Amino acid sequence: MATQRRDAAIVGIHEYPSRDVEGRVNALQIKAASAAKALADAGLTWSDVDAIYDAGEGGPMSGLMISEYFGIQPTVMDTTGVGGSSYEFHAAHALRAIREGKAKVALLTYGSTAHSNAMAIGAGGRGGGISPGDNMETFAGQTLIANYAMVAHRHMHQYGTTSEQLAEISTATRYHAMRNPEAVQAMTDLEFVGIQETTIEDVVGSRMIADPLHLLECCMVSDGGGAVVIASADVAANCAKAPVWILGTGEATKYPQNGGDITTSAGAQSAPIAFAEAGVSAAEMDIAMIYDSFSITVLALLEDLGFCAKGEGGAWVQGGRLRFDRPNDGPALNTDGGGLSSNHPGMRGIFLLLEATRQLRGESTSQVADASLAIAHGNGGMLGARHSAGTVILGRD
């Protein structure tokens, strides 16, 4: 704790409210609209931005295009694109750039019209890429959901985890989503059946999509986006909102390996790095914003991040432990409703930072009283194959 540094903070946020834009706006417009709102939230403006972070969803060579589109002149540019966890990587890189004195105000943006474009993210064919790994695998017709499902099956085999235990992730996030008007609107616009709190029986009784994962264990495909503004301590001191400090970060990647254990993700590497830098432990976290692409993602990551031992996640989450109104039992999980029930346009990582910030500001619709520490952990790519892990530890004054 003595070594904890507070060099950079999240000072501005915005989550684009619509999850179904019906073709009226495009991804770049969502990014720009969100950036302007996040800068205004911080009490800053375009000309204050000197560092830009972009995951490339706006197109190839996004680093050349995005500054012109926004009308800014950054001197730090970073186009790290590692899937859904890109924004945790961006936050880590922004902290380093600010700490080095290379930047004072960093802007992270995301925009997607995955729903309007009818993108079949979870159950579509694999991309037409010709990487050697893809060339060995495309013939098998493994959907993205089936890849995560293989992690779940292996977890069940090794540790005795059950579908009822996995369903706890879905019921906790839906419990939070029903308190978030934007999440309720999202489920309404995306024509969810049964927009209400769910039971374990609802989840395990829903349609099987890829064994052993049921429909209610799979995230939505929405439109959406958002923006985050990260600033140096001297800038943060004069911003409109209280700073949410980036206390520690970690990055890692993992891929299929002969004899490897797919129940353990790259998060087992990234999280200890982040916790060590922050000088805190998993047990101290009030809020856990963990990428809920699927139920198994959260269960495996809770273990990898150190909330419980590997293999014990199933028993650990039972009985509603992850709900926001049981703060003495452990962290509140995905209090915005998560990717399962609020927002998943393809790369959810930015929303993890947004809701963690809302919690530490006291602005969540499922507010944990006196929340002071949060973890945002993104998983990009495929949990049971090649994927990236970005961990960010956040704290308030």
Partner 1 sequence: MSDHKASNSPDSGAAKGAEKKAPTRPLPKLTELDTAEFWQGTADKQFRYQKCANCGTVVWHPRAHCTGCVDGDLRWHVSAGKGTIYSYSVVRLSYHPFFRTQVPYAVAYVDLDEGPRFLTNVTGVADPLTEVAVGQRVELAWESHEELSLPLVKPLS
Residues that bind partner 1 (CB under 8 A): 117-120, 123-125, 128, 130, 132-133, 135-143, 145-147, 149-151, 153-154, 157, 207-213, 256-260, 262, 384
By beta-carbon proximity to partner 1, the closer residue of 262 and 287 is: 262
Shortest gap between Cβ of 220 and partner 1 (angstroms)? 15
Shortest gap between Cβ of 297 and partner 1 (angstroms)? 14
Q: Kindly write down the DSSP assignment for every residue of 6-66, as one continuous string.
A: --EEEEEEEE---S--TTSS-HHHHHHHHHHHHHHHHT--GGG--EEE--STT-TTHHHHH
Shortest gap between Cβ of 89 and partner 1 (angstroms)? 24
Provide the pairing of β-strand 287-290 with 373-381. parallel
Comparing CA positions, the residue from 273, 166, 252 lying closest to residue 217 is: 166
By beta-carbon proximity to partner 1, the closer residue of 207 and 370 is: 207
By beta-carbon proximity to partner 1, the closer residue of 206 and 334 is: 206
By beta-carbon proximity to partner 1, the closer residue of 55 and 149 is: 149
Comparing CA positions, the residue from 244, 239, 278, 238 lying closest to residue 357 is: 244
By beta-carbon proximity to partner 1, the closer residue of 3 and 257 is: 257
Residue pair 218/209 in contact (Cβ under 8 Å)? The answer is yes
HSE toward the beta carbon, residue 123, CA cutoff 13 A: 12
Shortest gap between Cβ of 158 and partner 1 (angstroms)? 9
Gap between the Cα atoms of 44 and 216, Å rounded: 40
If you count DSSP H runs as helices and E runs as strands, how many of each does the chain have, helices first?
A: 14, 12
Query: Which helix H or strand E contains 156, and what residues bound it?
Result: helix 144-159
Gap between the Cα atoms of 350 and 336, Å rounded: 13
Provide the pairing of β-strand 287-290 with 332-333. parallel
Shortest gap between Cβ of 179 and partner 1 (angstroms)? 30
Residue pair 247/280 in contact (Cβ under 8 Å)? The answer is yes
Shortest gap between Cβ of 150 and partner 1 (angstroms)? 4
By beta-carbon proximity to partner 1, the closer residue of 58 and 390 is: 58
Shortest gap between Cβ of 122 and partner 1 (angstroms)? 8
By beta-carbon proximity to partner 1, the closer residue of 118 and 193 is: 118
What phi and psi, each to the nearest 5 degrees, are found at residue 56?
85, 10
Gap between the Cα atoms of 314 and 219, Å rounded: 19
By beta-carbon proximity to partner 1, the closer residue of 194 and 260 is: 260
Residue pair 92/60 in contact (Cβ under 8 Å)? The answer is no
Gap between the Cα atoms of 103 and 232, Å rounded: 8
The strand pairing partners of 224, in sequence order, are: 112
Shortest gap between Cβ of 154 and partner 1 (angstroms)? 4
370 three-state secondary structure: coil
Comparing CA positions, the residue from 337, 340, 321 lying closest to residue 329 is: 321
| Residue written as token pair 């699927």 | 294
Shortest gap between Cβ of 215 and partner 1 (angstroms)? 9
HSE toward the beta carbon, residue 75, CA cutoff 13 A: 10
By beta-carbon proximity to partner 1, the closer residue of 120 and 240 is: 120
